[in-house]
Structure 1
Amino acid sequence: MTNPFHEPAESGDSDDAVWDDLARRLESDPAADPGPTDRTTGEAPHGVDPQLFRMHPALTGPRDYEGSGDPDDGEFIPDDPPALGSGNPLTTLAWVCAAGAPITLLLLAIFWRRAPTPLWIGLVVLAVAATVFLFAKLPRHRNEGDDGARV
């Protein structure tokens, strides 16, 4: 016995008719679908129970889920971020120094190898001091009411 849903198209069949049949079966409601049928008679093949091919209510997938209809239900909507210049100026300066000093050291190593030693030492001290300052500003303990949804 062959399965009519998995047979290759015969040489005389039109591809359009096969695709239309496939689209009709995919768009149909699984609960109303009687299962596999013979193409010529419209009845279930001999020995195949049409109930076997119906979707059991407990076996639904993600596409079968119907939401409550409210698009904002349970969805996290973040607040607008603050303006770039509204932060603490000392923290902003520390970030610029922590990132800018190593970049400056790299550029000095590439383009000006004979730079004065105090400049090299000063940039290293500046980068380390800015990094230590930023680590010192990190919070020491968690807020109990925070669920981690905001940074």
Structure 2
Amino acid sequence: MGKRLWVERNKDGSWDAFSEDGAHAKFGKGKGLFSPGDLLKISLAACGALSSSFAVESALGEGKGAHIVVDGTYDDDDDAFLSFDEQLTVDATDADLSDEDAAKLKERIIRHIDKSCTVKHSLEREEPVRLNVTVRH
């Protein structure tokens, strides 16, 4: 079992997400808030960022990282994302990489993400979600 997470509604209609180790994020509907669909896309991008960081830092130096943009194709009728498109860009302009070194870095990044990105693995698998509702009264 992974880290325990929970959400709580605020009086203004926004929500706060918490983890047992102190992490916090705000979400909801409206300006300045991430929607749950946004958070899903952020999770995919964040997973790619963390999974690729070792490969990028090994090649380019500590503190270097990727810029990742995620878009999703959404189906209104099914209220679901049909697919996701990730664009990962690494700025290596100051590293003076050869074409061969850039190609090797690209392949290494792909291998790291394919091996270590739990969110990508989960979305590709379409894992079932079990929902248990309790109404305390």
When normalised by structure 2's length, the TM-score is 0.29
Higher relative strand content:
2
When normalised by structure 1's length, the TM-score is 0.27
Structure number with bigger Rg: 1
